[in-house]
Amino acid sequence: MIASHPLIELRQLHRYFGRTKAVCDVSFSVRRGGVFGFIGPNGAGKTTSMRILATLDLPTSGDALVDGFSVLEDPDRVRRRLGFMPDYFDTQANILVAEYLDFFARSYGLLGRERQQALRRVMSFTKLDALAEKPIDGLSKGMKQRLCLGRAMIHDPPVLILDEPAAGLDPRARIQLREMIGQLAADGKSILVSSHILTELAEMCDSVAIIEQGRLLAVGTVEEIQRARHSQRNVHLTVLSGAEALPEWLAARGAIHDVKVEGQSVEFLHDGDQHVEADILRDLVQAGFRVVAFGSRAKSLEDVFMQVTEGLVQ
């Protein structure tokens, strides 16, 4: 039976530490199979929100639900349905990879054949098979992150909370982690992931939430946030000749800004969408400009983050 409700839901969540409002009226939801990016500077309230979802902290007010169960009313059911990967992985000496995962499988009550199947599934998925007999304190950073992910998913939960999973990883390890997250989402798991590597979040996430000083500043797809913030598109074009006449020609169209000319290349911003760009290109050609290159891009997730946030800390 496929759940019709969001698998992750925060409802007017508040968490105060004395006078510090670490989380203030945060609400969002994540659908089944969705990858949701949680973005904000250090101290913004991301980890506090995630710890509440993982039943490691209690809200001052509001609620958080995992697969429809409240962290306040049904914490045991929440823990069965959630895997939490913290931003810090503590290693223990003289414990082997297989022993470590087996310990957590037993902790979740997996026994006999079910436990062995879970161990094989997780070690195969994380590509830790060849390292089963290796002490975990001798693993590389990337392998430790895989092991931490394996620990979080050993009981096959429908929800995964990943706090800075790509921190400190080399490019290959980040790519491999991104591919694993994509596969988990394709298998129907809902994933909440925080990261400071915004370009990667933009590639893997369906939606994002931007938080600063405990308050949500924007929620939605990157495109929705761009539209809500009236983000402009950046256009680059190159002509064979006559680039010096383009600033005046473009200015006559209206809603075009910051025209820059360098040789026969021109760059400008405009307020419209790709349909407007198609009209501009058509009119350029009809006006006699011999266009040899024309391209555009919307603002990236990094651009939107810098536009929305103010760099405030608490």
Do 202 and 64 fall within a single domain? Answer: yes
Rg (CA), the chain: 24
The pLDDT of residue 198 is 81
User: In this structure, are 236 and 223 located in the same domain?
Assistant: no
Residues 286 and 178 reside in one and the same domain? no
Question: Residue 73 — φ and ψ, nearest 5°?
Answer: -95, -30
Residue 3 lies in a domain: no
144 near 99, Cβ under 8 Å? no
Q: Which of 185, 212, 187, 208 is nearest to 198 (CA)?
A: 208
Using the CB atoms, write b or e for 222-251: b if 16+ within 10 Å.
beebbeeeebbbbbebbbeeebeebeebbe
Q: How confident is the model at residue 84 (pLDDT cuts 50, 70, 90)?
A: very high
Say what the pLDDT of residue 313 is.
57
Same domain, 168 and 53: yes
pLDDT recorded at residue 169: 84
- Residue 168 sits in the same domain as residue 281: no
Total number of domains in the chain: 2
**Predicted pLDDT at 255:** 84
List the Cα angle 208/212/216 in 5-degree steps. Answer: 50
The answer to whether residues 158 and 31 belong to one domain is yes
The mean per-residue pLDDT over the stretch 4-25 comes to 93
Average pLDDT score over residue span 21-40: 94
Residues 215, 90: one domain? yes
- Choice among 4-13, 45-54, 65-74, 195-204 with the minimum mean pLDDT: 195-204
pLDDT score, position 274? 84
Domain assignment present for residue 308? The answer is no
| pLDDT 10s digits, 223-244 | 777 666 656 788 999 999 999 9
Helix (H, G, I), strand (E, B) or coil at 264: coil
Does the structure show a pLDDT above 50 at 143? Answer: yes
pLDDT, position 1: 45
Q: What gap in Å lies between CA 183 and CA 199, rounded to an integer?
A: 19
Edge to edge, the sheet with strand 291-297 lists 256-262, 265-270, 233-239, 291-297
Tell me, yes or no, whether 122 and 151 share the same domain: yes
- 29-38, 69-78, 193-202, 222-231, range with the lowest pLDDT: 222-231
User: Pairing relation of β-strands 35-39 and 61-66?
Assistant: unpaired
Instruction: Choose the final residue of a domain: 189, 211, 227.
Output: 227
On whether residue 105 sits in a domain, the answer given is yes
pLDDT of residue 201 exceeding 90, the answer is: no
Q: Please enumerate in sequence order all residues whose Cβ is within 8 A of that of 189, keeping only pairs 6 or more positions apart, or say none.
A: 32, 33, 157, 158, 159, 160
279 pLDDT band (50/70/90 cuts)? Answer: very high
Long-range contacts of 300-306 (CB under 8 A, 24+ apart): 300/198, 300/199, 300/202, 301/39, 301/198, 301/199, 301/201, 301/202, 301/208, 301/222, 302/198, 302/199, 303/231, 304/210, 304/218, 304/222, 304/225, 304/226, 304/229, 304/231, 305/39, 305/198, 305/210
Q: Which residue has the higher pLDDT, 225 or 299?
A: 225
- The predicted model scores a pTM of 0.80
C-beta separation of 223 from 229 below 8 A: no
Is pLDDT at 13 greater than 70 in this prediction? yes
Do 49 and 70 fall into the same domain? Answer: yes
Residues 166 and 272 in one domain: no
Q: Where in the sequence is the domain holding 92, given as residue range(s)?
A: 8-227
Looking up residue 256, the CATH number of its domain turns out to be 3.30.70.270
Whether residues 18 and 78 fall in one domain: yes
Residue 40's CATH number: 3.40.50.300
Are 268 and 148 part of one and the same domain? no
Distance CA 267, CA 234 (A): 7
Over the chain, what is the mean pLDDT? Answer: 90
* Number of residues assigned to the chain: 314
- At residue 227, the pLDDT reads 66
